[in-house]
């Protein structure tokens, strides 16, 4: 890659990160190009679609989440491992308002630039789920795709200004449904807030 091209690419990624943090992933690509003092065509050549831009931007985040899942696979409490990883996933999406919709669309679209990352993430979650199920700590009538969908739904809640205040509490509610709660019926130990 030519030096000026790489410079533009890196600069665009930096600017896109800022813009998305401010306005969410649906920010105007023209805005990003303007703020990077670059033509819109240049942005679109480096990243032909919004998904391609996001994939480049979120690649390290995806890797971090996947790595964390790998580390948790040897934890000695598979239920806590699963729930804490799911919580991390939901928490991570809050940094990229609107990303959930794109990921939900990408998981079944092999053409999407985000497809591979989403599939990897789902597989990582599935492994944690399977381990918890094997230990009898998670209900057995769900699979990795179910967990991915539940996390997506909870992440979407966090994206909706009117519903976001409930997202944390509802995560606990849903977590209590995933776990079989052999220890405690209301799964109080995963609760992070203290509403009645």
Partner DNA sequence: ACCTATGTGGATCGCTGATCCGAATAATCG
Partner DNA sequence: CGATTATTCGGATCAGCGATCCACATAGGT
Which residue from 93, 117, 133, 176 is in contact with a second copy, where contact means CB under 8 A?
176
Which of 128-132's residues contact partners 24+ apart within 8 Å by CB, and which partners?
128/69, 128/72, 128/73, 128/78, 128/81, 128/82, 128/85, 129/82, 129/178, 131/73, 131/78, 131/81, 131/82, 132/78, 132/79, 132/81, 132/82, 132/179
Match 């967990």 to its residue by tokens: 147
Site membership for a second copy, residue 91 (CB under 8 A): no
Site membership for a second copy, residue 135 (CB under 8 A): no
Which residue from 63, 163, 183, 184 is in contact with a second copy, where contact means CB under 8 A?
163
Which residue from 13, 17, 35, 42 is in contact with DNA, where contact means CB under 7 A?
42
Which of 72-76's residues contact partners 24+ apart within 8 Å by CB, and which partners?
72/128, 73/127, 73/128, 73/131
Report the partner that residue 110 touches, choosing among a second copy, DNA, none (CB closer than 5 to 8 A by kind): none
Which residue from 13, 38, 105, 119 is in contact with DNA, where contact means CB under 7 A?
38
Site membership for DNA, residue 105 (CB under 7 A): no
Report the partner that residue 135 touches, choosing among a second copy, DNA, none (CB closer than 5 to 8 A by kind): none
The 3-state DSSP class for residue 46 equals helix
Q: In this complex, which beta carbon is closest to DNA, that of residue 2 or of residue 195?
A: 2
**Phi, psi at 179, each rounded to 5°:** -80, 150
Measured distance CA(7)–CA(10) in Å, rounded? 5
Site membership for DNA, residue 111 (CB under 7 A): no
- Applying CB under 8 A, the site for a second copy has a residue count of 36
Site membership for DNA, residue 49 (CB under 7 A): yes
Site membership for a second copy, residue 189 (CB under 8 A): no
Interaction site with DNA (CB under 7 A): 1-5, 7-8, 28-31, 37-42, 44-46, 48-50
């Amino acid at each position: 890659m030519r030096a000026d091209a790489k410079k533009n690419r890196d600069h665009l990624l930096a600017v896109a990160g800022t813009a998305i943090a401010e306005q969410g992933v649906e920010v105007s690509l023209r805005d990003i190009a303007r703020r990077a003092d670059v033509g819109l065509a240049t942005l679109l050549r480096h990243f032909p679609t919004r998904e391609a831009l996001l994939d480049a931007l979120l690649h390290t985040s995806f890797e971090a989440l996947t790595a964390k899942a790998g580390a948790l696979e040897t934890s000695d409490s598979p239920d806590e491992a699963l729930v804490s990883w799911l919580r991390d996933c939901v928490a991570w999406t809050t940094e990229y308002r609107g990303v959930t919709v794109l990921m939900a669309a990408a998981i079944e679209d092999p053409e999407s630039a985000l497809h591979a990352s989403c599939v990897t993430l789902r597989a990582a979650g599935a492994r944690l789920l399977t381990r918890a199920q094997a230990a009898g700590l998670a209900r057995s009538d769900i699979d990795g795709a179910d967990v991915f969908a539940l996390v997506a739904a909870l992440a979407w809640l966090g994206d909706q200004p009117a519903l976001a205040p409930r997202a944390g509490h509802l995560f606990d509610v849903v977590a209590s449904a995933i776990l079989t709660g052999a220890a405690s019926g209301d799964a109080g130990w995963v609760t992070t807030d203290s509403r009645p």
